[in-house]
Amino acid sequence: MVGASSLNRPREIERASALLSGAGRIVVLTGAGISAESGVPTFRGPGGMWKSLRPEDLATPEAFRRDPALVLEWYAWRRALVRECSPNPAHHALARLALEVPGRTTLVTQNVDGLHHRAARAEAGTADPAPAFPHEVHGAIHRTRCSRCGWVDEDPQDVVAPDLPRCPRCAALMRPDVVWFGEMLDPDVLGASFDAAEAADVCLVVGTSALVYPAASVPEVTLAAGGIVIEVNLEPTPLTRRAEVSLLGEAGQLLPALTAYAPAPRDGAG
């Protein structure tokens, strides 16, 4: 990929960074693009997972009812792939930004890969990583939950076909703890994300095609409340025309540059 800064007008990165470092409150929305450089395939971009597989065939309750083994096999494949991936400099840069002044930056992710959590633990060291834990609006692929009683397995063992994983409490099928198309998002998680977006001076949007709702509403909430949007992507999206600054390039290169100027922790701020 061509170097980040060569795709952008000179000083755009500095301008975006100045806007970010001057912000009182920041909300960050990430999508699959932030994990692409970690080796996690995106959904709709070149090589995206939806290229060969149709979301309707795999990421809906109907698909799970129709062929649970196929859907569970796809998620087991993705879980195994994600286990081999590591957070990249973009995840670490956002974790540092969130840890720098707790309460100033809220991370919201559409991703289910858990890489933000892993970057937060790595950056926090012995301190509390929680300020850098994102709101996971689409759930988490490494957890499963019962399709009937909701019991959650935080560390599911892959079940060998043709057996299917069943709930130890009610024996119904276990399913990935993610949000499928046509399913409601957790209202508490979504509400907290929108609250952060409304309070934010800046919404930093990283690596999302901005097509999937209601997650794609997060930057719209910030704009409606008078805030601004900074976008980082390889290509323009429906959000680009509303962004104060749109940086074209790889998140793994741009995010460290963007957050390098973040202010030192302020006493008692946040």
Q: Which residues bind ligand BV8 (CB under 6 A)?
A: 31-33, 36-37, 42-45, 48, 59, 110-112, 138, 178-184, 207-209, 211-214, 232-235, 237, 250-251
* Selected catalytic residue, list 91, 92, 116, 138: 138
**Distance in Å, CB of 170 to Zn ion, minimum:** 3
What one-character-per-residue DSSP string does 126-192 give?
Answer: TS--GGGPPEETTEEEEEEEETTT--EESSPPPPPTTS--B-TTT-PBEEEEEPPTTSPPPHHHHHH
Cα–Cα dist 108/177, whole Å: 17
Among 18, 130, 170, 224, binds Zn ion (CB under 5 A): 170
**Distance in Å, CB of 23 to ligand BV8, minimum:** 21
Q: Which residue is nearest to ligand BV8 (CB)?
A: 33
Query: CB under 5 to 8 A by kind: which of Zn ion, ligand BV8, none does 59 bind?
Result: ligand BV8
Query: CB under 5 to 8 A by kind: which of Zn ion, ligand BV8, none does 245 bind?
Result: none
The residue among 40 and 101 lying less far from ligand BV8, judged by its C-beta, is 40
Query: CB under 5 to 8 A by kind: which of Zn ion, ligand BV8, none does 246 bind?
Result: none
**Interaction of residue 151 with Zn ion, rule CB under 5 A:** yes
**Distance in Å, CB of 103 to ligand BV8, minimum:** 26
The residue among 63 and 167 lying less far from Zn ion, judged by its C-beta, is 167
145 close to 247: Cβ distance less than 8 angstroms: no
Measured CA distances, 269 to 97, 101, 257, 266 (Å): 14, 7, 23, 5
Query: CB under 5 to 8 A by kind: which of Zn ion, ligand BV8, none does 131 bind?
Result: none
Amino acid of residue 252: G
29 close to 205: Cβ distance less than 8 angstroms: yes
Among 169, 181, 236, 238, binds Zn ion (CB under 5 A): 169
β-pair type (26-30, 105-109): parallel
The residue among 23 and 108 lying less far from ligand BV8, judged by its C-beta, is 108
Residue 191 tokens, joined: 């509400």
What one-character-per-residue DSSP string does 7-65 give?
Answer: HS-TTHHHHHHHHHHT-SSEEEEE-THHHHTTT---SSSTT-HHHHS-HHHHSSHHHHH
For the chain, the helix, strand and coil percentages under 3-state DSSP, each to the nearest 5: 40, 15, 45
Query: CB under 5 to 8 A by kind: which of Zn ion, ligand BV8, none does 213 bind?
Result: ligand BV8
Task: Note if 138 is an active site residue.
Answer: yes
Cβ within 8 Å of residue 86, ≥6 positions away:
38, 115, 118
**Interaction of residue 224 with Zn ion, rule CB under 5 A:** no
**Distance in Å, CB of 153 to Zn ion, minimum:** 10
Q: Annotated catalytic sites, by residue?
A: 138
